[in-house]
Chain A
């Protein structure tokens, strides 16, 4: 379904839209307060942008450097061209270690590859351990936000979900009680786990180590308890040097939630004694995106979610309206690169207001890329005949001033004289909730010419 259809369904419940909007605006506002305290914030953004651009231009050598160093550290490194391969590699590692119970943390990539259903089909239990992720997992829904995956659910809905799945008592949505119960439930899962899967926020070529940022400490819990740790990362997660980490850790937390730093920035370098560590490096369309000059900067993304929080459309349409793993402004650039037809409505789900580009910590020109996708989509995917034709006609009218005048006259006359019920009838989406301007008798052109003629007469 197109974004606009899903968005209008979401908008039927205006109260829900209002609190969704408020909740995200609250985070965006926290971000503002926090970044305005950092002198040199804009320089930091420039640095982040520059490092990522440099990394992407030398991606191959940094990836190889990372692999070499990781292997030296005793880590097993795997390469996956796509989601399918990724899933098979993870599955194979789990089989080899006879792992039946898996805890997962920070897993947008595994979400992208649809790992859960793949493993579950073979009887492996996969538990998402980020609280928000766990909530949507229980609800059998995809996350609606990359940092706040359950932001679309209110506490009463969580209350009901927990009653159903975790056997909690009704608590009128008491967040403290619910969090405590969730923690109890997750602790059990951590202790029982045979393997832990985590994402990767930053992988450092120079050291072969990687960093995972969480606020709940769940990546550490999983990786420290289970005998096997599998870290899954997209190729673009590489940064060249350890010293670059400070730039990104500062940018990430403030942009994501307004915190100076995430509660846990855990550095993983090598497996602990007696345990195993694997890294799966995944392409899944990334190098193809890299090959598109207009869109390669989308790979700078550090997944802070700020563009979603700031996007006035996202806030009012909900993450699910994007029908993609990564929703919101950045998702609307990444998704068409994967399936142009399926996601053809996403670059149009924007007013091109530019707030996303201004908020992005690594300065991705998001709104310009949305504009560019639009130009490609209208050429390469089937378009409604009426839209195409009307654009062609409009183009012709605007190329010829005399025609423009004629058409303008008719339009003004209609606005003035046709009954409102006709003007605001069904095919005119504008008129559903808005009035059209009343057509003036005289256009500016006509007024100006009259004035000039009168001047000449005087």
Chain B
């Protein structure tokens, strides 16, 4: 099994530690993982802003980089979702279909492809999970409060096995944090208010560290936490699963 690692553009540039943690974690789990050079972005920022047609180059670049792998793994639910859901703007060649079928969010891949629950991490903190929407309602990485059915959460299943981690329940466990790509800028007031409310929910439940499957949500929350000097640490799930305290 050959796995291609996709590190989304903004993680590559702004949060390289998330990329490192992802790679190291996969290597620890004995995955034959390769990081193809020449990758950029899945095309989502343009597409969600209404400029799908400007993202064709990015989509083609993505497919070219990843078409030869059995799986593509990324520490970003929203990028994986974008490739799966919106890559119909380029011709559906075999390569495109293959890439769309085989792209996985990291937790999903570990739990459901590698079939590993305990990754051997230890992280003795009170952790609050932010369930990023595209992963949650797009990829169904967990059950949603709106939908009637069994309750589950991939990210929480993995965290439950982490030594020392105490999972803290929050009130609105699957409400959006207000990032939403360019929404964060064009609808600044609402975006900020949503983020503030999210953070309040976690603080009130005694959370020390907020984690998520998406660095984009976390960048937004971190921006607020730093500005307001709030006692919260923000870490991507890969960083927790890769840690050994």
Contact = CB atoms under 8 A, between A and B. Distances in A.
Interface stretch (B31-39, B102-110, B113-121): B31-39
Which of B23, B133, B138, B174 counts the most A-chain CB atoms under 10 A from its CB?
Answer: B133
Nearest to A399: B57
B20 interface: yes
Interface string B2-27: 00000101011111110110010000
A200 B46 CA distance: 42
B111 interface: no
Nearest to A12: B189
Binding site of B, secondary structure by majority: helix, strand, loop or mixed?
helix
Interface in A349-381: 349-355, 357-359, 371, 374-375, 377-378
Contact of A391 (B46, B138, B183): B46
B14 A349 contact: no
Contacts of B178: 312, 351
Given A316-B194, A435-B226, A353 B180 contact: yes
B147 A358 contact: yes
Contacts of B47: 371, 375
Contacts of A268: none
Nearest to B49: A391
Contacts of B39: 401
B133 A353 contact: yes
B27 to A, nearest CB: 11
B28 interface: no
B188 interface: yes
Contacts of B46: 391, 394-395, 398
Contact of B58 (A377, A387, A388, A398): A398
B187 A348 contact: yes
A167 interface: no
Interface in A376-413: 377-378, 387-388, 391-392, 394-401, 404, 408, 411-412
A122 interface: no
B197 interface: yes
Contacts of A371: 47-48, 86
Contact of B54 (A35, A374, A392, A442): A392
A42 B15 CA distance: 40
Contacts of A118: none
A448 B33 CA distance: 13
Contacts of B90: none
Given A374-B48, A394-B54, A398-B9, A445 B37 contact: yes
Contacts of B226: 434-435
Contacts of B223: 430, 434-437
Contacts of A3: 187
A265 B133 CA distance: 36
A21 interface: yes
B187 A349 contact: yes
Contacts of A395: 46, 51, 54-58
A443 B10 CA distance: 10
B14 A412 contact: yes
Contacts of A316: 190, 193-194, 197
Contact of A434 (B9, B181, B187, B224): B224
Interface string A85-117: 000000000000000000000000000000000
A449 interface: yes
A11 B190 contact: yes
Nearest to B15: A437
B57 A398 contact: yes
Contacts of A11: 189-190, 193
Interface string B86-100: 100000000000000
Contacts of B30: none
B113 to A, nearest CB: 23
A310 B144 CA distance: 12
A125 to B, nearest CB: 39
A363 B25 CA distance: 38
Nearest to B42: A398
Contacts of A4: 186-190
B57 to A, nearest CB: 3
B16 A444 contact: yes
A25 B54 contact: no
Interface in A39-62: 41-42
B58 A42 contact: no
A351 B186 CA distance: 11
Contacts of A301: none
A14 B51 CA distance: 33
Given A316-B190, A350-B183, A352-B180, A443 B144 contact: no
A203 B180 CA distance: 39
A439 B16 CA distance: 10
A348 B188 contact: no
Interface string B107-144: 00000000000000000000000000110111000001
Contacts of A436: 223
B123 to A, nearest CB: 22
Which of B23, B50, B223 counts the most A-chain CB atoms under 10 A from its CB?
Answer: B50
B197 A21 contact: yes
Contacts of B183: 348, 350-351
Nearest to A43: B148
A411 B9 CA distance: 12
26 contacts: A4-B187, A8-B190, A17-B193, A316-B190, A348-B50, A350-B183, A351-B181, A353-B180, A354-B133, A355-B176, A358-B146, A358-B147, A391-B49, A398-B55, A398-B58, A401-B40, A401-B61, A408-B13, A412-B14, A430-B188, A430-B223, A434-B226, A440-B17, A444-B16, A448-B23, A449-B37
Given A353-B176, A378-B50, A439-B13, 18 more contacts: A11-B189, A25-B172, A38-B148, A42-B149, A347-B50, A348-B50, A348-B182, A348-B187, A358-B137, A358-B146, A358-B147, A375-B52, A378-B51, A395-B57, A399-B57, A433-B192, A448-B19, A449-B37
Give the 10 A-B residue pairs with the shortest CB-CB distance, closest first: A399-B57, A351-B180, A434-B223, A395-B54, A354-B137, A374-B50, A378-B50, A8-B189, A444-B19, A353-B133
